[in-house]
Amino acid sequence: MDSASVPFATLDYVIFGIYLLVIVGLGLWVSREEEGEEKSSSDYFLASKSLPFWAIGSSLIAANISAEQFIGMSGSGFRVGLAIASYEWMAAVTLLVIAYFFLPIYLEKEIFTMPQFLEQRYDGRVRMLLAIFWLLVYVFVNLTSVLYMGGLSINVIMGLPLWWSIAGLALIATAYSLYGGLKAVAWTDVVQVIVLVGGGLLTTWVALDAYGGSDAGPVGGLGQLMGDASNRFNMILFEGELMYQNDEGVTQDAYQLLPGLSVLFGGLWVANLFYWGCNQYIIQRALAAKNLKEAKRGLAFAGYLKLLLPLIVVVPGIVAYALDPAAVTKGDEAYPWLLGQYVPAGFRGLAFAALVAAIVSSLASMMNSASTIFTMDLYRNYVEESASESKLVGIGRTVALVCIVIATLLAPQLADLDQVFQYIQEYTGFVSPGVLAIFIMGLFWKKATPNAALVSAVLSIPLSAAFKFLTPNIAFLNRMLIVFFISVALIVGLSYLENRGEDHPKAIEVSDVEHESDPIFQVAAFGILGITAALYAFFW
């Protein structure tokens, strides 16, 4: 597909240009300093701990939703259907778990980063090792894949070369986030999430309207789609139930991606708890909250947005599958193709702005969190403990720039992959089981020792790799669950050998942590649980 086949009208360019000006201008405006004042590390990395719940929730979703979802999850929707929405709907429930059990401890510790918490609970070795892990994952998996998928979408929709598309996205994200830090990222994310949800719903509405025809409309189109592509509307997949062809024409079993009840009771919990509860670029928004009440409400607000998102990022992929377009040869081309072919001139600029909003907000978040970890966990700890606040901010900006440059150079190398969303999940899953075990045991088991945590961290990748290559028939979510339980067993066994059953001196007294009662959060939580249960019951 080239630019001639999906032309942008002048109005599209105007709308998209206005979006860029607003985002960059807002980011620079909220980052401004009073004359004679300089940003402190708390200002730059934690937005001065001033975020209200609606900014936290919006920023969580803007950071989370990117090309990984718009492009990657739509690609998986094209291949395997609505079942991929489990990553969204189960995440809504996971956010409640994080808000109730994890956040009170994190906020009481007054930490900047997740590795910093690990030093408080274990020791500096665990902190350093996990800081390096996260930096590598952010640069070589997250930043790189988001840049690639975003560049691919621009390449397909506008016909721009992949390399220039990737570089342009990196430049936009850098333009407003490098100077202002988390404050610029979080407050622009409020606008970004409005654009990405509004523009995303517009694309889904137009696609369903086109599928249903002029008489049926979007609602009738959805009903017709559920009938015509009924095998793409099952949330729980069993072995051999749904076979699909990948980009090479090889028939594969969707069960390997979404193994039955494991999405409800197994490995998906490992992926979600790690991502939402231990992941710096996600949890950093909650650490920047005004207080615990605002943080918990922010996560609940994000939970409701997660329930909505499959309508935006999965259904378009199913529409593309039902239309059976010959032009879509890779799963990750489904959403750009749909946007280019069915969204009319004028609206296309808004829909495209939604896609770019999702991409650049995630890039900005990952850049800021990578710089936070390097600056606060590595540089200040091991290079210059007495570094001034202005120097820490300067180091953070430099590191953010280096990370985005490296990712920009590497991103085009992902062009040979089929479903990049699955690439992200599987290779992040090499790290997540061991890391989650360290956090869970550190938070809630008093006997866990630093040496046991260190062994679990070091063995996470080789254990995951061994299971991948020695037991290729086990679905990767199930492998993650197995490695998680092995990691927990290692921590328990080694801690008992080392401490002879005694509590560790740095153990957390969970009973002493303040759990502020909040009726609003409780009502919101019951609403999320009820809606999620109803969705799974309907689409079982």
Please, what are the averages of pLDDT over each run of 10 residues along the chain (540 residues)? Answer: 54 85 83 66 76 90 78 82 90 95 90 90 91 87 85 77 90 82 81 84 87 80 88 84 69 77 85 90 86 93 94 90 78 77 79 80 86 90 85 90 93 70 66 91 93 91 87 84 94 91 88 81 96 92
- Give 34: exposed, middle or buried? Use CB within 10 Å, 0-12, 13-18, 19+: exposed
Residue 245, φ and ψ in degrees, nearest 5? -100, 130
Q: How many CB atoms lie within 10 A of CB 455?
A: 18
Burial 37-72 (b: 16+ CB within 10 A, else e): eebebbbbbbbbeebebebbbbbbbbbbbbbbbbbb
Q: Is residue 501, in this structure, part of any structural domain at all?
A: no
* pLDDT recorded at residue 117: 92
* pLDDT recorded at residue 1: 39
CA dist 453 → 374, 448, 495 (Å): 21, 7, 9
* pLDDT recorded at residue 298: 94
d(CA 321, CA 229): 8
- Give 21: exposed, middle or buried? Use CB within 10 Å, 0-12, 13-18, 19+: exposed
What sign for the dihedral angle of Cα 413, 415, 418, 423? positive
Structural domain including 63 reads 10-30+38-428+509-538
Query: Tokens standing for 29?
Result: 């405006």
* Three-state secondary structure readout of 480-521: HHHHHHHHHHHHHHHHHHHHCCCCCCCCCCHHHCCCCCCHHH
Q: What is the DSSP track for 66-95?
A: SHIIIIIIHHHHHHHGGGGGHHHHHHHHHH
Q: Which residue has the tokens 């016909």?
A: 159
Residue 351 belongs to domain with CATH number: 1.20.1730.10
Alpha helices in 324-346 (DSSP H): 334-342
Q: Is residue 450, in this structure, part of any structural domain at all?
A: no
Q: Is residue 160, in this structure, part of any structural domain at all?
A: yes
Q: Is residue 261, in this structure, part of any structural domain at all?
A: yes
Tell me the CA end-to-end span of the chain in Å, nearest whole number: 37
d(CA 73, CA 331): 9
* pLDDT recorded at residue 5: 41
Q: What is the SS3 assignment for 383?
A: coil
pTM: 0.88
Residue 45, φ and ψ in degrees, nearest 5? -95, -25
Q: How many domains, the chain? A: 1
d(CA 472, CA 451): 31
Q: Is residue 187, in this structure, part of any structural domain at all?
A: yes
Q: Is residue 493, in this structure, part of any structural domain at all?
A: no
The backbone region for 240, taken as left when phi is positive above 0, alpha when psi lies in -120 to 50, beta otherwise, is left
CA dist 458 → 382, 386, 393, 432 (Å): 21, 30, 31, 12
Residue 156 C-alpha from the chain's centroid: 23
d(CA 489, CA 480): 14
The backbone region for 236, taken as left when phi is positive above 0, alpha when psi lies in -120 to 50, beta otherwise, is beta
Q: Is residue 443, in this structure, part of any structural domain at all?
A: no
What sign for the dihedral angle of Cα 345, 166, 171, 63? positive
Q: Is residue 488, in this structure, part of any structural domain at all?
A: no
